[in-house]
Chain A
């Protein structure tokens, strides 16, 4: 069946460091791919998405490119801030009704 695998955390970085959180997917077709962010005590918020191969989603300095050849959707940010500390979930689905979530990666940024 379809699945999403993402880098295990926790990840701890210093402020202004470069961030990469790896995500790969397995699916029979070409699903839409998402990154969600969950701040402490809150629900999930959509961070960015891509609906087809080679699409790049971007928001708040974060980027991810839908790579069909490597079935990946890695999340990157050039310079992280303390406020980026949260749990990040990679997800995929053939439609918004059927989304499968990765296990989440906890990110902590040191001042």
Chain B
């Protein structure tokens, strides 16, 4: 089956620093990747949609200058949380839509970000 990985699985950083999270589709090409944020005991909130080679589309209320997304290849998208603050602490999950199969998003295992 289609596998999506995320790295790192968890990261702790100091307030004011930037953190990069990678999302990779391991055995398929993904023209579209999605970034979600999940607060404790709550649902997934879509942050942005990224398409390979073009700028990401951000959902309303998501600061594009704070959450930088780059989708440089058909197998890799990155999310950089810039100047992180404690309120950015959350579980970030990516998903990918395959080139060959548009009917299902495949989810990564998530990245737990803790900002001190």
Contacts and interface: CB of A to CB of B under 8 A. Distances in A.
Interface of A: 32, 36, 41-46, 49, 89, 95-97, 99, 101-104, 106
- Which of B41, B44, B102 has most chain A Cβ within 10 Å? B44
B44 A97 contact: no
B7 to A, nearest CB: 13
B54 interface: no
Given A42-B109, A89-B44, A97-B32, 5 more contacts: A36-B107, A43-B109, A44-B95, A101-B43, A103-B43
B105 A99 contact: yes
B104 interface: yes
B41 A45 contact: no
Given A89-B44, A101-B44, A106-B41, A96 B105 contact: yes
A42 B43 contact: no
Contacts of B49: 97
Interface string B84-116: 000000000101010000111101111000000
Contacts of A106: 41
A96 B102 contact: yes
Contacts of A96: 97, 102-105
A104 B41 contact: yes
